[in-house]
């Protein structure tokens, strides 16, 4: 068994109304910020999965994203491996994804 | 001027209560999913910035993230360049970040 950490990035599909994004855009003037457009607000879910291997872990995350975390009618999701993969059987893969800072 | 697209990933700081994460964990049994732990639910904000260069664009995003998108008392944020950088003056940088799928 090995342990993998993933992020699921859920964003409103193109064309779907995004009131939170509009609210952010509406606040920019008050902050004196210009040049910012096309703001879209979604969710980011980070989770740890214990599975036989990374493919198995990703399959679990795919199911969770499609059935619980995202509404497929109005939202798209992307699955991203993030740091922290570890294994109790074999060494962790050389590239387990990294967090952007 | 050049145009850059960024994502700001906002997550609850370690130790901060995350009721949405607990709700996801509470739903796993109903879905017949096991092996998923440490669920944290945050926000993902994607936006386009027009600025003189990428450093200038990132400075705008830093300010926006710290002053509007994240509550620094309870949330951490990470800024991630995503696909779609373009320029009206010079060619886009070779590495403009990529979206994980």
CB contact under 8 A, A51 and B38: no
Task: Give chain A's contact residues with B (Cβ, < 8 Å).
Answer: 5, 7, 9-11, 21, 24, 27-28, 31, 33, 35-51, 57, 60, 63-64, 67-69, 78-81, 97, 99-101
pLDDT band at residue B97 using 50, 70 and 90 as cut-offs: very low
- pLDDT, residue A99, reads 46
pLDDT tens digits along A45-80: 999 999 999 999 999 999 999 999 999 999 999 999
CA distance B34 to B28: 7
Higher pLDDT, A83 or A36: A36
Minimal C-alpha gap between A66 and chain B (Å): 11
Chain B residues touching residue A53 (CB < 8 angstroms) = none
Chain A positions touching B67 (Cβ under 8 A) are: 31
Extract the tokens encoding B69: 């998108």
- Which residues neighbour A30 within 8 Å (Cβ) at sequence distance 6 or greater? none
pLDDT (tens digit per residue) in B29-73 = 999 999 999 999 999 999 999 999 999 999 999 999 999 999 999
CA dihedral angle for residue A30, residue A34, residue A39, residue A43, rounded to 10 degrees: -60
CA–CA distance, B100 with B41 (Å, rounded to integer): 18
**Encoded tokens for B101:** 């799928």
Global ipTM = 0.82
Which residues of chain A neighbour B60 with C-beta distances below 8 Å?
Answer: 33, 35-36
> What confidence score (pLDDT) does residue B99 get?
46
Going by pLDDT thresholds of 50, 70 and 90, the confidence category of residue A83 is: confident
d(CA B12, CA B18) in angstroms, rounded, equals: 7
**How much is the pLDDT for A84?**
60
Average pLDDT over residues A10-24: 97
**What does the longest C-alpha to C-alpha distance in chain A come to?**
54
Q: Is the pLDDT score of B91 beyond 60? A: no
Asked if A48 lies within 8 A of B36 by C-beta distance, the reply is yes
Cβ(A90)–Cβ(A38) below 8 Å? no
Say if residues A58 and A7 touch (Cβ distance below 8 Å). Answer: no
pLDDT of residue B83: 79
Contact B97 A100 (CB under 8 A): yes
Question: Once rounded to an integer, what is the mean pLDDT over residues B88-93?
Answer: 46
Q: Is A94's pLDDT higher than 50?
A: no
Q: What are phi and psi of A60, to 5 degrees?
A: -65, -45
- Tell me how close the Cα of B69 comes to any Cα of chain A, in angstroms: 8
């Amino acid at each position: 068994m090995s342990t993998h950490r993933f992020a699921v990035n859920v964003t409103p599909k193109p064309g779907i109304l995004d009131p939170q994004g509009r609210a952010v855009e509406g606040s920019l003037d008050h902050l004196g910020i210009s040049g910012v457009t096309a703001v879209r607000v979604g969710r980011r879910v980070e989770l740890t999965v214990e599975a036989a291997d990374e493919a198995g872990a990703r399959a679990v995350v795919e199911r969770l994203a499609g059935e619980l975390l995202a509404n497929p009618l109005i939202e798209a999701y992307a699955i991203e491996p993030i740091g922290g993969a570890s294994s109790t059987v074999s060494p962790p893969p050389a590239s387990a994804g990294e967090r952007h800072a």
